[in-house]
Amino acid sequence: MKRILATAAVAACLAGPALSEGVISYTTDEAFDDVVFGLENAIVDAGLVVDSVSHVGDMLERTKEDVGGTVTIFEKADVYSFCSAAVSRRAMEADPMNIVYCPYGIFVAQQPGGQVMIGFRDYPDGPMQEVEAMLDGIAKSAIGME
């Protein structure tokens, strides 16, 4: 019995981070390109610069047959990466290992026949909540929720 409880405790510790990681997202009836335009403007309006745009949807579709895929996952899907010097400094002064979260990303995606989604990863409690609040404000601004 002790061995079962010890194994369960170890499994719970290992599963903890995976369970706490999630996604915060919003759906909209706006067109994909309109949401992307809104996101680009919201990032710039926040005084930030887009570091890169990953065209995840295009990559998945382009490589679908090469990897044995048969499903179109997204009509369109992009991830915008950027950073904030001020917010990142505060987060990393609190814990230098918060570097693992930088740069920050916001995705815009549309599944076949579905609404457009915009979102980002859920960050851990503590200093990273300032980052999460920043991303939430940008995502909401992109679709006119703020």
Whether residue 112 contacts residue 19, with contact meaning beta carbons closer than 8 Å, is answered with no
**38-94, pLDDT tens digit by residue?**
999 999 999 999 999 999 999 999 999 999 999 999 999 999 999 999 999 999 999
Task: Tell me the domains of the chain and their CATH numbers.
Answer: 21-142 (3.30.310.70)
* Eight-state DSSP code of residue 72: -
pTM over 0.75: yes
Q: What percent of the chain has pLDDT over 70?
A: 86
Q: How confident is the model at residue 8 (pLDDT cuts 50, 70, 90)?
A: very low
Rounded to the nearest 5°, which phi and psi values hold at 82?
-160, 170
